Structure 1
Amino acid sequence: MKGSFNKIIQSEIPVLIDFYADWCAPCKVLTPILKEVKEELGDAVKIVKIDIDKNGSIAGRFQVRGVPTMILFKEGTALWRQAGVLPKDQLLTTLRQYI
């Protein structure tokens, strides 16, 4: 995953990485929100889910201490970061600033 992760975040299209865990209740709340955000924004943003239990080195690299944590990348640069669940409208407003 490590090599492909670096390639994913180098995209010119903003990439929202959702660091999550299967055991995390708030992560389960965030999943349908992200689906609705993707439906609304379409190809203007990529959304990638990263399981911290299976990809601990990536989570460590970005100092993810709690889940869910979302980090928005564009061309390899982290532009925005949020720990916890955001309401759909707030997340859409934030993402539109970077599209």
Structure 2
Amino acid sequence: MLRRIAGTCGLKLLWWRHAGQVWRVLLMRRGAAVLTVAMVGAAALWLTGTNTAPQSALPDPIAAARLTGKPVLVEFGAGSCAACREMKGVLADLQTSHGDRMVIVDIDFGTPEGRMVLRKYAMQAIPTQLFYTADGAEAGRHLGAIPADQILARLGLADG
């Protein structure tokens, strides 16, 4: 459809991938750029004819967790990282013991969605944990493996 509109106006339509998943559309008229539009989400799906959403259209699990009214622990890691695998056990224990009082978000750097979230939150290394209060404010960050009792203390959930 966009190609048909461009043709009726005497414009040449060009599109290309930019930064992995964002599509840039450039309408040209006699060699001069007329309009540049960044297209994401459904428009990019329409252009490519694929069933995979661009990374910028994916939901942000951290933002959703911060709206729950519970303290949030976000773990950035990967299956290829020994300290990250150690944290998987800590997260499982916390989910069992305190899952009703907190939200745990595990972001895997090994997936395209995980890499997008990793970049959005400016993570420099893994494993890294982000701590959010019940009202959604960031309470701190930690780099490396961390014991469950320290996590609970940072989230204000320590017993005693």
- TM class by shorter-chain length? 0.7 to 0.9
**TM-score between both structures, scaled by the size of structure 2:** 0.53
> One-letter code of the match for 2:116?
S
Match for residue 125 of structure 2 among 32, 44, 66: 66
Partner of 1:56: 115
* Structure-2 change in CA distance of 1:76 and 1:42 (3 Å): closer
User: Quick one: distance in 2 between partners of 1:37 and 1:7?
Assistant: 20
User: Quick one: distance in 1 between partners of 2:126 and 2:80?
Assistant: 10
Match for residue 81 of structure 1 among 98, 118, 141: 141
Offset, 1:9: 2.7
Offset, 1:75: 4.3
1:1-99 equivalent positions in 2, closer than 5 A: 2-5=58-61, 6-54=63-111, 55-73=114-132, 74-96=134-156
Does the aligned pair in 1 maintain the 2:75–2:107 contact within 8 Å?
yes
The superposition leaves residues 20-76 of structure 1 with CA deviations (integer Å, 9 ceiling, x where unpaired) of 111111001111112222222231101111112322121111111111111123444
Identical-residue share of aligned pairs (%) = 26
- Report which of the two has the higher share of helix: 1
Higher relative contact order (CA 8 A, sep 6+): 1
Unaligned residue ranges in structure 1 (runs of 5+): none
User: Quick one: distance in 2 between partners of 1:42 and 1:21?
Assistant: 22
Offset, 1:11: 2.2
SS at match of 1:44: coil
Counting matched residue pairs gives 98
Does the aligned pair in 2 maintain the 1:2–1:58 contact within 8 Å?
no
Unaligned residue ranges in structure 2 (runs of 5+): 1-56
Q: Please, what is the CA RMSD of the aligned residues?
A: 2.2
User: Quick one: distance in 2 between partners of 1:3 and 1:39?
Assistant: 26
